[in-house]
Structure 1
Amino acid sequence: MQFKTATGVLSCTPDRLIVAGWTGRDRAAVDHHIEELAAIGVPAPSSVPLYYQCAPALLTQEASIQVLGDQSSGEAEPFLLKQDGRIWLGLASDHTDRALETYSVACSKQACAKPVADTLWLLEDVADHLDSLKLQSWIREGGDWVAYQDGTLASILPLQQLIAGADLRDGTAMLCGTLPAIGGVRASAEFKMALEDPVSGQSIAWSYTSTFLEIVS
């Protein structure tokens, strides 16, 4: 993978991928969401937060991904990468199979590619104002772009806490959890997302499309 940074191009091949789940900072809200999902058949996590193990080959910077069936959706998330002893911050989508999620959240995470934006910031450069970073996403509905997620990293557990819990060693990439979906989680073939730093005025943006593979049984 190749990323644009303030100091040039960073090339790397992560050999470990973690997808952190249940990372909301408001624990009461997280517990309520777990109860809501349990009511529709989604198994409760064994611990909170939870660090799902996924294949690093799922990470992609392609403009289109293929998914099985039409019941998957994206989620904008902070993306962390540790490379050569330094930790970088970027943006990724935890694209997830929602139908499979009712059977196993871990399986649903592994079933879909994880699109990653092509820009990284050094975590240390934004460490003193991480909570103010704005995370947004949009989906295409009825021909129009509709706001799907909108909030700040203050809604997610502190990234340093997630780093400590995940043992973020060199070669590790991690998706760090997400914000609630406006209007509820739903599928869309077109997804775009952004991470904005209000202090520097910089932003990272990415978009991708999904094509549906027929479910043959």
Structure 2
Amino acid sequence: MLQFETEDGTLGVELTKLTVAGWTGRDLAAVQHHVEELAAIGVPRPSTTPLFYRVSPALATQAPEIAVLGDETSGEVEPLLVRSGGVLWIGLASDHTDRGLEAHSVAHSKQICAKPVSGKLWRYDHVADRLDSLQLRCWIEEDGARKAYQDGTLANILPLATLLEKAPLADGEAMVCGTLAAIGGVRPAARYEMELADSELGTLGLSYAVKTLPVVS
């Protein structure tokens, strides 16, 4: 059971379905260029774009630390959509993914890592008229220093309404909606700090540490 703070009080949600939307860039030419770049290093091309990956709802976590296997995983700041009690909510999530496993299967790479989610949600209809202006930011801890990792607005990804049309949410379901390019490239980090900022409602925050487990054989 996930517990969220909202303007209406505490909201408990037991997720029955979790979807991770991929290849959601609004610039379709840039998306195709990225597909070709990844294909050149062995990452399978998506069957369509955007693509909606189903992962276990149990992967969603509000723990302050996640454990990952090996040193090839990394997080991404993304908007989170949750439907509960007939209301659509927006929050923040990290699509933590095993980058090494991506070359075998993107779907497998997403299923193997926990998906941290924020402890607070806003009503979607309270920001629906200005979604493109919402700011996504992420900082990482790297070599003991805090560094800017991602920074942009939701105007860089497909409209959330479009994603909902393609992958509707029923009560108890959630979707992680896509991300921004990483400053300096995608890479592992010891800690992630993220925020979703709105000019009227302020910010939603999410932070978590990463514990790397050894790969043994």
Q: TM-score, normalised by structure 1?
A: 0.98
The alpha-carbon deviation at position 12 of structure 1 amounts to: 1.0
Identity percentage of aligned residues: 58
The alpha-carbon deviation at position 144 of structure 1 amounts to: 1.1
Q: Distance in 1 between matches of 2:156 and 2:147?
A: 21
Q: Distance in 2 between matches of 1:214 and 1:164?
A: 41
CA RMSD after TM alignment: 0.7
SS of the residue aligned with 2:36?
A: helix
**2:206: which partner in 1?**
206
**2:168: which partner in 1?**
167
Q: Distance in 1 between matches of 2:144 and 2:20?
A: 31
Aligned length: 216
Say if 2:104 is the partner of 1:94. Answer: no
AA partner of residue 96 (structure 1): T
AA partner of residue 145 (structure 1): R
Say if 2:150 is the partner of 1:157. Answer: no
SS of the residue aligned with 1:65?
A: strand
The alpha-carbon deviation at position 64 of structure 1 amounts to: 0.3
**1:119: which partner in 2?**
120
AA partner of residue 209 (structure 2): T
Q: Distance in 1 between matches of 2:189 and 2:103?
A: 19
SS of the residue aligned with 2:158?
A: coil
Question: Gaps (5+ residues) in structure 1?
Answer: none
Deviating above 4 A after TM superposition, structure 1's stretches of 4 or more consecutive aligned residues are none
**1:16: which partner in 2?**
17
1:63-94 CA distance string (max 9 Å, x none): 00000011100000000001111110000000
AA partner of residue 216 (structure 1): V
Question: Gaps (5+ residues) in structure 2?
Answer: none
Q: Distance in 2 between matches of 1:105 and 1:139?
A: 23
The alpha-carbon deviation at position 201 of structure 1 amounts to: 4.6
Q: How does 1:24-39 map to 2 (within 5 A)?
A: 24-39=25-40
Q: Distance in 1 between matches of 2:141 and 2:85?
A: 38
1:26-64 CA distance string (max 9 Å, x none): 000000000111111111100000000000000000000
Q: TM-score, normalised by structure 2?
A: 0.98
Q: How does 1:12-91 map to 2 (within 5 A)?
A: 12-91=13-92
**1:187: which partner in 2?**
188
Q: Distance in 1 between matches of 2:187 and 2:214?
A: 19
